[in-house]
Amino acid sequence: MISENLKEINKNIEKACKNSGRSTDSVHLIAVSKTKPVEMLKEAYDLGCRIFGENRVQELTEKMPVLPADIKWHMIGHLQTNKIKYIIGKVDLIHSVDTLHLAEAIDKEAGKNNCIQDVLIEINVAGEDSKFGTADMDINKQLIKDVSALKNLNLKGLMTVAPYTDDPEDNRQYFKALKKLADDMREYFVSDPVLSMGMTGDYMVAIEEGATYVRVGTGLFGERNYNV
């Protein structure tokens, strides 16, 4: 099942890249493996997946040591300051920096560990109450400036979780807005800003609007069951 799903996703990524005149090399698939057993991650790994996204620190640190060392782990979920120490320097990218307080705590922990941590700032483009981050662009711009000044962090770009919808076109406006914010603030990122946007329901639209990382869980591994 994972094999067919992955083929389909790669085909869709290619199609979306073609639609928007982008190179497929510019888009990276994050296999979102939260709640899924390591056997399934190993299967995806054997099929070529090298970036895995998890949203809970405990699950991430349990899976990490039992899977191949060349996997790049991405923390995509809300991060509590007291959990930073378990993942600092071990995860390739933290997508979910949503306050200066959290950024400063990551910076401090990175300093202690003599590492530079790559991070993204999470933007709540649609302003949903249920999501982390804010839709206030003045606050977001200030946050980008402040985080970019922290010396043990590399601010690589922005991330958003768009609203759940049946029609991916509904989210095009939010992906456009995230891209615009990144472009407006370009000078504050360490290199061309990366954009983490698009999930199972809307990753093709996200790619058309400039996503460099798409985070696909259900479309790759199937529905999640939180009751087991």
Nearest CA among 56, 118, 55 for reference residue 89: 118
- Rounded CA separation 58/62 (Å): 6
In this complex, which beta carbon is closest to ligand PLP, that of residue 77 or of residue 210? 77
Residue 13 to residues 24, 133, 137, 164, Cα–Cα distance (Å):
7, 27, 29, 20
Q: Is 76 in the site for ligand PLP (CB under 6 A)?
A: yes
Q: Is 219 in the site for ligand PLP (CB under 6 A)?
A: yes
Q: Assess contact for 212 and 28: CB atoms under 8 A.
A: yes
In this complex, which beta carbon is closest to ligand PLP, that of residue 158 or of residue 161? 161
Among 77, 157, 168, 193, binds ligand PLP (CB under 6 A): 77
Among 2, 9, 32, 87, binds ligand PLP (CB under 6 A): 32
Closest chain position to ligand PLP (CB): 217
Q: Assess contact for 144 and 123: CB atoms under 8 A.
A: no
Among 19, 142, 173, 218, binds ligand PLP (CB under 6 A): 218
In this complex, which beta carbon is closest to ligand PLP, that of residue 59 or of residue 113? 59
Question: Can you read off the two tokens belonging to residue 15?
Answer: 């199609």
In this complex, which beta carbon is closest to ligand PLP, that of residue 24 or of residue 200? 200
Among 55, 117, 160, 171, binds ligand PLP (CB under 6 A): 55
Q: Is 185 helix (H, G, I), strand (E, B) or coil?
A: coil
Q: Is 61 in the site for ligand PLP (CB under 6 A)?
A: no
Question: Can you read off the two tokens belonging to residue 180?
Answer: 């615009």
In this complex, which beta carbon is closest to ligand PLP, that of residue 134 or of residue 152? 134
The CA-based dihedral angle spanning residues 143, 83, 212, 184, taken in that order and rounded to the nearest 10 degrees: 0
Element (H, E) at 9: helix 2-19
> Running DSSP on this structure, what letter comes out for residue 94?
E
Binding residues for ligand PLP (CB under 6 A): 32, 34, 55, 76-77, 161, 199-201, 215-219
